[in-house]
Chain A
């Protein structure tokens, strides 16, 4: 009885923790998306880009988003409109890129 109670408690605690962590991550990505000025070009929730030449990001694969951000930051990708984005890429580190990409990929 006691053992089962403890197991349930632990399970619930783990679930709360997991949910909490998930939420914190999502909130971070959303906050960073505004703070690091992604929103200025890609629009609220990555759904309404400033110009038709800019990509929609909502629902995009996180790994793809991270890769593009890294390549634009390093200069490996310099075609198209990447010059516009390069100017702000010093504002984000790898961890922040991942958080932003995870959040964006979870949007519909």
Chain B
């Protein structure tokens, strides 16, 4: 009896653990498949047309944070998020239908479109926060974020850590809150732990600070009025 109870408990614990590990980096899924494929940029441009309806032809998203900037995001990060959304590992009802194979295609199409997106020049004028607690934001950033996201929030392609520099404040704030509060299921469990004790003020301060970090000039569009010539 005790044995049975114990083994059930153990199985539950084991299942619980593997589920949360899976939620961050699922193995054997489309992510792994797409990572190994050689991208076709021309097809990527065609696939991107579906994305452009919301993320805009420049891939800059919207300052109000409804849609994130995709331009310049690291390829593995984009692959992981797309694969997660279509595997229902990240809840995004608005995006979900567009992530489906019948909308954007198979793993090859996924590899193609993210390669195209990664090369798009970034918005030089992304949305930033109120600017009221930047010193606090900087301290929190250095103590909590740099280790994984990098000195300049440039991300880490090998580890699927997103590039944050240049991202819209309001989008990042929402995602940060969802990660902190356990609403974003494919979040990295280490990050969830790391930011667990952040107050709303801390959260806004650090995200505001990060939204003001400018990507290197070589990755930026020449002006905020730049239009994607592929869609003219």
| Cα-based distance from A105 to B203 in the complex (angstroms) | 45
Chain A interface mostly: helix
Chain A residues near B53 (CB-CB < 8 A) = 34, 37, 39-40
Residue of B nearest to A54 (CB): B97
User: How far, in Å, is A57 (CB) from chain B's closest CB?
Assistant: 15
A84–B93 touching, CB < 8 Å: yes
Chain B residues near A51 (CB-CB < 8 A) = 97, 100, 102-103
Chain B interface mostly: helix
B94–A84 touching, CB < 8 Å: yes
Residue of A nearest to B52 (CB): A40
Q: How many A-B residue contacts, CB cutoff 8 Å? A: 37
Chain B residues near A88 (CB-CB < 8 A) = 54, 66, 94
B-side interface residues, number (CB < 8 Å)? 14
Interface code B162-191, partner A: CB below 8 Å = 1, 0 otherwise?
Answer: 000000000000000000000000000000
B93–A83 touching, CB < 8 Å: yes
CB of B161 within 8 A of chain A?
no
Given A84-B93, A88-B66, check contact A50 B98 (CB 8 Å).
yes
CB of A86 within 8 A of chain B?
yes
Residue of A nearest to B64 (CB): A91
CB of B96 within 8 A of chain A?
yes
| Cα-based distance from A90 to B94 in the complex (angstroms) | 13
For residues 62 through 88 of chain A, which have their beta carbon under 8 Å from a beta carbon of chain B? 81, 83-88
Chain A residues near B102 (CB-CB < 8 A) = 51
For residues 64 through 98 of chain B, which have their beta carbon under 8 Å from a beta carbon of chain A? 64, 66, 92-94, 96-98
User: What 4 pairs across the A-B complex have the smallest Cβ distances?
Assistant: A87-B94, A40-B53, A83-B93, A84-B93
A-B contacts, 13 listed (Cβ < 8 Å): A34-B53, A39-B53, A40-B98, A41-B97, A51-B100, A54-B97, A81-B97, A83-B93, A84-B93, A84-B97, A87-B92, A87-B93, A91-B64
B: which residues have CB within 8 A of A?
50, 53-54, 64, 66, 92-94, 96-98, 100, 102-103
